[in-house]
Structure 1
Amino acid sequence: MKDITVDSNPSEAQLKKMGVEHWPTWEKEVSVFPWSFVTTEVAYIVEGECVMTPNDGGPATIFKAGDLVVFPNGYKGTWEVKKALKKRFKHKDGNFVKCAFSRYKILKNRIKAAL
């Protein structure tokens, strides 16, 4: 299984170029739950702190507010939300419906911001 990657210091220019401000948001209270990624998800952590532990016994990944995280398609593991989470995200490379819906939400946010 591919590893999660974490960029703990993405530049404002990089985030702007990626269009992060238009990505939809997702929030989760402190909790523990299993998850399987059916797309590659790129997420910018706005608030919170989490630990992801893979099902294959590999090392856990810690990420927090300010981190840019890439969850690879096919990753299976357990979320441990240690501090309430708010993230901006986009889906790519995977489940067609999920990716298309993600693109639709981003486009909708871009149009709303332009008006």
Structure 2
Amino acid sequence: MAQIIIDSNPSQEKLNELGVSSWNIWDCPPSKFPLDFTMTEKAYVLEGEFKVTPAGGETVTIKAGDYVEFPKGLKSQWEVVKQLKKHYKHF
């Protein structure tokens, strides 16, 4: 099964290399919902905290300052704990 990759506090150099500041921004209030990825998503969390539970997997907590990659084909359940704001891009 494809894994969610989390890099806590990536270097500014890595973020610049990826061009994160030019990616779209997504805001989401505290809520719970299913989310299936039809493409790979790369994201950098600006604000907030959320929990992602992959189908058949362990829950991971992702928070402000984390860079994360969600693999294509991932089926997951999301719980946004604190108002979420993230840069993201689909591949």
The two structures share one fold, judged by TM-score above 0.5: yes
Shorter-chain TM-score range: over 0.9
Q: Structure 1 counterpart of 2:41, which letter? A: E
Distance 1:74 1:84 in 2: 26
Q: Provide structure 2 residue ranges, at least 5 long, that are not aligned to the other structure.
A: none
Task: Name segments (4+ residues, structure 1) moved above 4 Å.
Answer: none
The CA deviation at 1:61 is 1.1
SS across alignment from 2:43: strand
Q: In proportion to residue count, which structure has more helix?
A: 1
Normalising by the residue count of structure 1, what TM-score does the alignment of the two structures yield? 0.77
Higher relative contact order, structure no. (Cα contacts within 8 Å, ≥ 6 residues apart):
2
How many residues in Structure 1 have an aligned counterpart in Structure 2? 91
- Compute the RMSD of aligned alpha carbons: 0.7
Structure 1 or 2: more strand by fraction: 2
Query: Residue 59 of structure 1: SS of its match in structure 2?
Result: coil
Unaligned runs of 5+ in 1: 93-115
Q: Matches of residues 36-47 of structure 1 in structure 2 within 5 Å?
A: 36-47=36-47
Highest Rg: 1 or 2? Answer: 1
The AA in structure 2 aligned to 1:9 is N
